[in-house]
Structure 1
Amino acid sequence: MKLKNIGVGFAVGVTGGMLISFLNAPKSGKELQQSLKTGSNDLKSQMDQLKIEGEEIKNSFLKTKHESSEVFSTLGDEVKSMISNFQADINPNIERLQSNIENISNKADSAVSEMTGDSKKDEDSKE
């Protein structure tokens, strides 16, 4: 008997729940189906729009990558050109400085040799 009471209670509960949900539903079954179809169509159109925007972003990224590689290539050539121009401008100055250093070194050597030569003459004259 207890099982029968549990079965009857379950059936009454399910029936009551269904009745309450039907009476409190904001839309009828047809309206709910139409609303779900509209929602799914909206979701589908949004997903299509996201795919299109994703493709646009991908194409924009690839275009930027291609353009930046061209710019960096050109920039590298310009830097090489600037360095070679700088070296061409500075080489005469480097050569002139080396020549001046050699002249000063030669003068210093000759001054030292004159001083040592004069010292020997003084020593020879003292003897």
Structure 2
Amino acid sequence: MQPTEPAAGDAFSADLLRGHTDTIVLATLRRGDRYGFEIYKAIRDATGGAHEIKEATLYATYRRLTQDGLVEAYWGDESQGGRRKYYRITDAGRAVFRRNVTAWVATRDVIDALLDQTDPRTSPSPKGSDR
């Protein structure tokens, strides 16, 4: 069976981002306090709509980050409409964000190096090789 070229819509893999939801939320909160749906929109808009995190996933993330002390939640004082729960990153959250970004960059560099290897079937043989 021959491999096929991925369709344009398949080129982006949400699976690669799934394990980084906490870091993505922390990155969004580094720009300032936001309420839940505002974080969702910021993530969607940052990717031009190419990536959306399901709201249920985000709200589970907010709970986990709050329980871990990486974000603080508080109720807004809106005078109109329903009250909104806002989230702010803590100093511990900033530290975790920095560690996660460092790990991501190291991982990306390794993957880039592995993907940038020359295909031995198409590259010229080294001098003196019996290939």
> TM-score over 0.5 for the alignment?
no
More strand by share: 2
More helix by share: 1
Q: Quick check: which has more Rg, 1 or 2?
A: 1
| Larger relative contact order (CA 8 Å, sep ≥ 6) | 2
